[in-house]
A and B are shown apart, each in its own frame.
Chain A
């Protein structure tokens, strides 16, 4: 084993460990009930999940395409979309402050926010 290989193995282990630590931090559930739905960097909805009724609504993307967003029992998720990868649906419900629901093709982000922010 040469020195270069050792250095690279060390670097990979450090990166992996850092990723594990960051991932654990990222999994922390959010205490906020306010949610921003952001499209193209503009906040289009600012909702309090604890007061919202159960409903499903559609967000259209100006360049074509749509996402069906569902609010149920104070939880928000994307249930249907015509994007090709369906990553946003697979993400499931919004749980953590650090992990937003992202639909890259439609430039849509659903994330927790502070109360009153974005108004």
Chain B
């Protein structure tokens, strides 16, 4: 892997981590477990702009570092399961959905993220009681997913990051 690519991936990871940590302080949604998932703007962007392996590296690094910096290591199982589900789903969906409909793959990613977390929650609790908040997570996930997807779409259509890349190379 070339050094400048490595640096760019590291930069994206750092960006995602910063967004993630700032987002932890934003506590506006009263539904437990629901989040804006702004850090996924980077994930969505990376899915479309980089290879599967590189995206997986960004996401895994972000989840691991995010749980350490966020002081919530016990929640890492949920984040990890969500991230893996979301990532696999989006990498598959990427083949069907063109760049123009990136918000759609973001919504699907959000739904899969919540599904992954729910599966782990059911396994950890050994009870289906937690499933009752699942519909709420889906609703907020769809809205938040559409929002992050649109953010990523604007980011790509304005070619903000590509311009910088050309200068570098």
> Chain A: which residue is nearest B27 at the CB level?
A90
Q: Does A4 contact B (CB under 8 A)?
A: yes
- Among the 9-residue stretches A50-58, A66-74, A97-105, the one with 4 or more Cβ atoms under 8 Å from chain B is A97-105
Q: List 23 A-B contacts (CB under 8 A).
A: A2-B96, A2-B98, A5-B101, A8-B93, A9-B104, A15-B142, A16-B138, A19-B136, A19-B138, A19-B139, A26-B135, A84-B74, A85-B75, A87-B32, A90-B32, A92-B30, A98-B132, A99-B133, A102-B125, A102-B130, A105-B74, A105-B75, A109-B130
Q: Are B124 and A107 touching (Cβ within 8 A)?
A: yes
Q: Are B71 and A12 touching (Cβ within 8 A)?
A: no
Q: Are B111 and A20 touching (Cβ within 8 A)?
A: no
Contact of B97 among A5, A16, A99 (CB under 8 A): A5
Interface residues on B, range: 20 to 34
List residues of chain A with CB within 8 A of the CB of B74.
Answer: 84, 105
Q: Are A85 and B132 touching (Cβ within 8 A)?
A: no
Task: List residues of chain A with CB under 8 Å of any chain B CB.
Answer: 1-2, 4-5, 8-9, 12, 15-16, 18-23, 26, 38, 41, 84-85, 87-88, 90-92, 98-100, 102, 104-105, 107, 109, 111
Cα distance A95–B109 in the bound complex, in angstroms = 31
List residues of chain A with CB within 8 A of the CB of B93.
Answer: 8
Q: Are A102 and B129 touching (Cβ within 8 A)?
A: yes
> Chain A: which residue is nearest B107 at the CB level?
A12
Q: Are B132 and A100 touching (Cβ within 8 A)?
A: yes
List residues of chain A with CB within 8 A of the CB of B129.
Answer: 38, 100, 102, 109, 111
Q: Are A15 and B138 touching (Cβ within 8 A)?
A: yes
Tally of A-B residue pairs with Cβ under 8 A?
90
Check A20/B135 contact, CB under 8 A, given A8-B93, A102-B130.
yes
Check A5/B138 contact, CB under 8 A, given A100-B132, A104-B124.
no
Q: Smallest Cβ distance from B128 to chain A, in angstroms?
A: 11
Contact of A85 among B72, B104, B107, B111 (CB under 8 A): B72
Given pairs A84-B73, A102-B129, 9 additional interface contacts (CB within 8 A): A1-B101, A5-B98, A12-B111, A15-B142, A19-B142, A84-B75, A85-B75, A104-B130, A107-B125
Q: Are B127 and A41 touching (Cβ within 8 A)?
A: yes
Q: Are A104 and B121 touching (Cβ within 8 A)?
A: yes
List residues of chain A with CB within 8 A of the CB of B126.
Answer: 41
